[in-house]
Structure 1
Amino acid sequence: MRKYLADAQVISEIETVRTALPTWVVSTAELVELAENAERAAVHSNLETLDRSRKLIVEVAEWQQKLSEWQGLDLSPRLKAELRILKATLDASMDEANGAAGELKLFD
């Protein structure tokens, strides 16, 4: 059986993504809800919430980049499949988060 040397490096870090993904998805959904509610009520969100939202977007973007880099490594087919699934989930989450960030003007 062929050895995929890069697997060990990725597996040692990917647990962070596996563990954090549910939290990121829930936080993203909450961010979208916050943006919709703020727009409807024409009110501003508190600064602490906005700061947490910015940090979420930055953190997920950093992991997206890392997953993209890992996809270029010589990895086992199973691990490549998992990376594609995780990356697709993060991409969808970021699309939602970026839309909400635009409505909230998080990065203006």
Structure 2
Amino acid sequence: MQHYPADDQVVSQIETVRTASPEWVISTVELVELAENAERAAVQTNPETAERARKLIVEVAEWQQKLSEWQGLNLSPRLKAELRILKATLDASMDEANAAAAELHLLN
């Protein structure tokens, strides 16, 4: 069986993504719901909520970048598959979060 030394480096850090992904997805869904409700009610976003949304977007973007970098390493097929799945999840979450943030004018 082939040994993939880079796996050790990635596996030691990927637990953060595995653990945080469900939380990021839930936060993204809440942001989308907030954007839809705010648009209907024509209300301004709470500054604390806006800051939390910005932090979510920055944190997920940083992990997207890290996952992209890891995909370039010589990793085991199992780990490469997991990275593709996690990256696709984060990509979808970012698309939703960015759209909601734009509706709430958080990126201005």
Q: Which amino acid in structure 2 is aligned with residue 67 of structure 1?
A: L
Equivalent position of 1:30 in the other structure = 30
Equivalent position of 1:89 in the other structure = 89
Q: 3-state SS of the aligned residue for 1:31?
A: helix
Q: Does 1:21 align with 2:28?
A: no
Structure 2: runs of 5+ lacking an equivalent:
none
| Counterparts of 1:32 and 1:49, CA distance in 2 | 12
Q: Does 1:98 align with 2:104?
A: no
Question: TM-score, normalised to structure 1's length?
Answer: 0.99
Aligned-residue Cα RMSD (Å) equals 0.4
Q: Which amino acid in structure 2 is aligned with residue 61 of structure 1?
A: A
Question: TM-score, normalised to structure 2's length?
Answer: 0.99
Deviation at 1:107, TM superposition (A): 1.3
| Counterparts of 1:55 and 1:94, CA distance in 2 | 12
The correspondence of residues 71-82 of structure 1 with structure 2, limited to 5 A, is 71-82=71-82
Q: 3-state SS of the aligned residue for 1:106?
A: coil
Equivalent position of 1:40 in the other structure = 40
Between the two proteins, the alignment pairs up a number of residues equal to: 108
Q: 3-state SS of the aligned residue for 1:35?
A: helix
